[in-house]
Amino acid sequence: MAQRRGAFSTESPLLKDDCMRRDEMASTGTGLQADEDIQSMLVGTVMRKIKSRAWKKQRYFKLEDDCMTIWYKSKKAGNDRSTFSVLDVEAIREGHQSEVLLSTADEFPAERCFTLVFRGRRGNLDLVAESAEEAESWIRGLRKLIENVENMDEQEKLDQWISDWFKKADKNNDGRMNFKEVQDLLKMMNVDMNEHHALRLFTMADKSQSRTLEDDEFVHFYKMLTQREDVLRVFQKYSSDGQKLSLSDLEDFLREEQLEGGNLQQRAKQLIERYEPSDRAKLLNAMSFDGVLMYLGSAEGSVFNPQQRGVYQDMSQPLCHYFISSSHNTYLMEDQLRGHSSVEGYIRALTRGCRCVEVDCWDGANGEPIVYHGHTFTSKIFFKDVVSAVGNYAFKVSEYPVILSIENHCSVGQQRVMAHHLNNILGDKLLKSTLDGKAPGSLPSPEELKGKILLKAKKIGGLEDDFGGIVENGLTGEVSDDDAVAEIEDDNLHRESRKSKQRLSKELSDCVVYCKSVNFNSFKHSRLHAKFYEVTSFTESKARKHLREAGAEFVHHNTRQLTRVYPSGFRTDSSNFNPQEMWNAGCQIVALNFQTAGEGMDLNDGLFSQNGCCGYILKPPFMRDEKRFNPEMPQNLDGYCPISLTVQIISGQQLPKVNMKKDSIVDPLVRVEIHGVPMDQAKQETRYIENNGFNPVWYDTLRFTIHTPELALVRFVVEDYDKASRNDFVGQYTLPFICMQQGYRHIYLLSRDGTSIPPSSIFVHIRMTGLE
């Protein structure tokens, strides 16, 4: 390593160029404002906000000058107005693509309608413009604004975040803030600061000497406030002159800390070109402190390996060799007793990468099958609307197959209607026969099934019968009511129900190809008699029982066939079990309540965040071959090689406020959890830092031993420590162990419902070593 020397100076000429960044951002905003659609939005327009067929109110909508905030208010007198940020908008749907707008289709034509879909669990905003041209202009303008946000780097997003806070605190909208207002704002931003220190920084930032800070002066004040001493320490360790990282310095850092290999000189040049804001530093082939900050704040500097973001796994293996992102009671937006049923549940699940959705079908009025949670007070929706939503959204984010898991309670007549809708609405997307038209010997792969929707349901006879077999009476057949059986926990009811038979229409039966729902007898019976296309379903408690009594057999069963596990019927609040237990057994379709935030969905999102978020994750080799892997005893596996994981929690940045009371500041701690096979289950936490959610510093080191790294997930949780009661949740981030990058990394936190909360992050150092 080169000899390190010199002291860092904030007056370095390399860093002065960076003051131009905000001017560049401003010019970007000016460029946007010159756009015709954006100009129209800046002027504003009256549109109808639609909540139901009966609730349709006119509101005035306008884009603010920052090109980031949209506000709307009633035409009536008064200052009542609502705002939302472009950052919060996930998608724009044109036409009648929501239940609310569909219900008003006879009144408002599709070309005047559009829906704004927000991130997280916030409700949609359904709008009707006065004309088709106005609707098109707003749709185009919003998409340009969203694209602009998506193209921002971390530094630009941070600057925007600071400006947003400034606007929130500038109550009289004069674009200025005095010291008292700045102090109040700091408390809102989770900073508890010494008054003398804050006043000194305030005076330094007040370039105009007006005793107030304008927007850009406040940004300067904020940046002085958030000097990153932790990153500065790393920078000084590797800088030969205290001013910059030369090409050689940067190579040393990448080799010794980030543990990168390959052509490091070329890699260092690439990073300088990509992240260095100073043209002078670029000419010197060097990286300034700001360049290091931008690199460490980027996707390449994050904890998640960017090479595993895209589809990188072999997608040509049989379906049973993959974990499949799966939803339970997909139609529900809330709990399963009184919750609201909506096609929105399907749209949200599918756009999150879910590849198996559940449809509970019951007889409806006028011969139209309906979907809802039977024998409860949940609302009802039409089966045909569910099929339409699935057809429209199945392949928006992933081209790999979608499985429709049908729980069929319908009469034969309405089953025929179901079959008609499936065929008529889905057309060629619905898989109706084996891929090559011949009797297969194993399940096809996700690659072979791209763009196809498969039905998982009861079937008359076997797949072989479709190739010359005879079906009884040709119209209907009898099958065991296995899904109803699986829903019942009581053993007496279980035995009684097992004897019952259900009439099944041939038309619906013919829609089932590779996913026939069957009863589970025993692992021995399955080994001797089960067909590869048969799928068994277990409640979480039954799956746990099998895992406890015959873990290795369960894993082996899942090398040949698909298994679905779903939450117990006693979870009336639609809570989730821990899916990790079921993945440990190799169960592919682990169905969760996507509408319920919490640890279960964090783990699900974490596992499926790799491989292009395509909804399919290839199981480890020992879960796909004939070897007997026992999750209770991973040390018996050939090639067993445990890994030591060391995580140093260094610091936190701009953690969100938990209690919105003005004087409340969080006392943050960080917990690192390992979720995996039983031997790997572990959690450790740092001490808590009192009254600092803004830039807490820990330098606490946590150590773990991981016995089955291929199955492990790592969850970082930040909480607000409370002596008297349970700690409050602040944010979390979960990822597969195998996707973690070593070295100095930022972890950008997610909210309780899985959405990003920029710029909140924690800064860590990660090391992994093999154990002898």
Q: Residues 393, 359: one domain?
A: yes
Residues 514-539: tens digit of each pLDDT: 999 999 999 999 999 999 999 999 99
Q: The domain spanning residue 177 has which CATH number?
A: 1.10.238.10
CATH number, domain of 65, equals 2.30.29.30
The mean pLDDT of 640-648, rounded to a whole number, is 96
* pTM, full prediction: 0.85
CA distances for 214 relative to 26, 90, 173, 192, 208, angstroms: 15, 31, 11, 22, 9
Q: For position 663, what pLDDT does the model report?
A: 64
pLDDT score for 269: 97
Q: pLDDT-derived band of residue 477, with 50, 70 and 90 as boundaries? A: low
Q: Is 539 exposed, middle or buried (0-12, 13-18, 19+ CB in 10 A)?
A: buried
Give the pLDDT confidence of 206-262 residue by residue, as tens digits.
988 899 988 788 878 887 877 899 999 999 999 999 999 999 999 999 999 999 999
Given a contact cutoff of 8 angstroms between Cβ atoms, the answer to whether 711 and 685 are in contact is: no
> Do 509 and 484 lie in a common domain?
yes
- Residue 702 CA, chain-centre distance (Å), reads 26
Scanning the structure block, which residue is given the tokens 């319920």? 596
Give the CA angle between residues 151, 153, 158 to the nearest 5°: 120
Alpha-helical (H) ranges within 75-119 are 99-103
Which of residues 533 and 11 earns the better pLDDT score?
A: 533
Assess if residue 387 is contained within a domain: yes
Higher pLDDT, 426 or 73: 426
Please choose, from the candidates 389, 399, 397, the residue with its C-alpha nearest in 3D space to the C-alpha of residue 425: 389
What is the distance between the alpha carbons of residues 457 and 454, in angstroms, rounded to a whole number? 10
Q: What is the DSSP letter of 567?
A: -
Highest mean pLDDT among 497-501, 665-669, 678-682: 678-682
Evaluate if residue 484 carries a pLDDT over 50.
no
Residues 578 and 511 in one domain: yes
Pick the more confident residue, 479 or 108.
Answer: 108
Write out the two tokens for 169.
Answer: 């605190």
The answer to whether 340 is a known catalytic residue is no
The single-letter DSSP state of residue 633 is -
d(CA 385, CA 96): 12
Quick check: is 234 in a domain? no
Mean pLDDT of the chain: 87
What is the DSSP annotation of 484-529?
HHHH---HHHHHHHHT-EEEEEHHHHTT-SSEEEE----HHHHHHH
Q: Where are the alpha helices (DSSP H) in 394-445?
A: 412-426
- Return the amino acid letter for 363: D
- pLDDT value of residue 555: 96
User: Is residue 518 within 8 Å of 482, Cβ to Cβ?
Assistant: yes
Q: Pick the catalytic residue: 96, 220, 321, 328?
A: 328
- Dihedral sign computed on CA atoms, order 757, 759, 760, 763: positive
Confidence of residue 109 (pLDDT cuts 50, 70, 90): very high
197 is catalytic: no
Residue 669 included in any domain: yes
CATH number, residue 701: 2.60.40.150
Please give the residue that has the higher pLDDT: either 647 or 10.
647
Do 575 and 644 sit in the same domain of this protein?
no
pLDDT in tens, 534-559: 999 999 999 999 999 999 999 999 99
- Asked if the model's pLDDT at residue 80 lies above 70, the reply is no
> Whole-angstrom Cα distance, residue 246 to residue 272?
10
Q: Residues of 355-380 as b/e, b for ≥16 C-beta within 10 angstroms? A: bbbbbbbbebeeeebbbbbeeeebbe
Token couple for 670: 């960080």
Q: Are residues 507 and 410 both part of a single domain?
A: yes
pLDDT of residue 705 exceeding 60, the answer is: yes
- pLDDT tens-digit profile of 603-619? 999 999 999 999 999 99
Going by C-beta distance under 8 Å and a sequence separation of 6 or more, which residues neighbour residue 194? none
| Averaged pLDDT for residues 645-662 | 86
Q: Could you tell me the pLDDT band of residue 196, with boundaries at 50, 70 and 90? A: confident
At residue 486, does pLDDT exceed 50? no
- Total structural domains within the chain: 4
The average pLDDT across 613-627 equals 94
pLDDT in tens, 42-54: 999 999 999 998 9
Q: What is the pLDDT of residues 131-183, one digit of tens each?
A: 999 999 999 999 999 998 888 776 777 777 777 777 777 777 778 888 888 88
Q: Does residue 140 share a domain with residue 174?
A: no
Residue 739 has pLDDT above 50, yes or no: yes
- The residue that leads in pLDDT, 17 or 673, is 673
Name 644's bridge partners. Answer: 705, 769
Prior bond to 759 cis, omega within 30? Answer: yes
Same domain as 608, residue 648: no
Question: Distance (Å, rounded) from C-alpha 273 to C-alpha 29?
Answer: 24
Task: Inform me whether the pLDDT recorded for 346 exceeds 80.
Answer: yes
pLDDT for res 126: 95
Residue 742 lies in a domain: yes
End-of-domain residue from the set 597, 623, 649: 623
Q: How confident is the model at residue 67 (pLDDT cuts 50, 70, 90)?
A: confident
What lies within 8 Å, CB to CB, of 301 at 6+ separation is 295, 744, 745, 746
Strand partners for 61: 45, 72
Domain boundary among 131, 150, 169: 150
Return d(Cα 692, Cα 79) in angstroms, integer. Answer: 35
Which domain covers residue 713, as residue numbers? 640-770
What is the tens place of the pLDDT at every residue in 350-378?
A: 999 999 999 999 999 999 999 998 777 77
Structure tokens at 504: 């099944």
Q: Which residue has the tokens 């279960």?
A: 600
737 inside domain? yes
Same domain, 485 and 597: yes
CATH of the domain at 427: 3.20.20.190
- Read off the pLDDT of each residue in 403-425 and give the average, rounded to a whole number: 97
Quick one: how far is CA 149 from the chain centroid? 18
Place of tokens 């406020």: 657
Residue 555 tokens read as 């894993």
Residues 405 and 493 in one domain: yes
Q: Could you tell me if 647 and 619 lie in one domain?
A: no
Residue 311 lies in a domain: no
- pLDDT of the residue at 521: 92
Which of 517, 592, 515, 579 shows the shortest CA–CA distance to 547? 579
Report the pLDDT value the prediction gives residue 546, as an integer from 0 to 100: 96
- The strand pairing partners of 652, in sequence order, are 762
pLDDT digits (tens, 9 = 90+) for 266-282: 999 999 999 998 899 99
Catalytic residue among 96, 220, 321, 373: 373
The dihedral through the CA atoms of 148, 154, 159, 164 has a sign that is positive
- Out of 623, 652, 685, a domain closes at 623
Note whether residue 286 is domain-resident.
Answer: no
Q: Does 482 share its domain with 556? A: yes
DSSP, collapsed to helix, strand or coil, labels residue 283 as helix
Integer Cα distance of 719 and 731 in angstroms:
7
Residues 720 and 662 in one domain: yes
For residue 510, give the nearest of 478, 465, 448 by alpha carbon: 465
Q: What is the C-alpha to C-alpha distance for residues 364 and 675, in angstroms, rounded to an integer?
A: 43
Mean pLDDT of 368-395: 91
The confidence score (pLDDT) of residue 661 equals 63
DSSP β-bridge partners for residue 56: 50
Q: What is the pLDDT of residue 21?
A: 45
pLDDT average, residue stretch 466-482: 54
Residue 680: inside a domain: yes
- 3-class SS of residue 573: coil
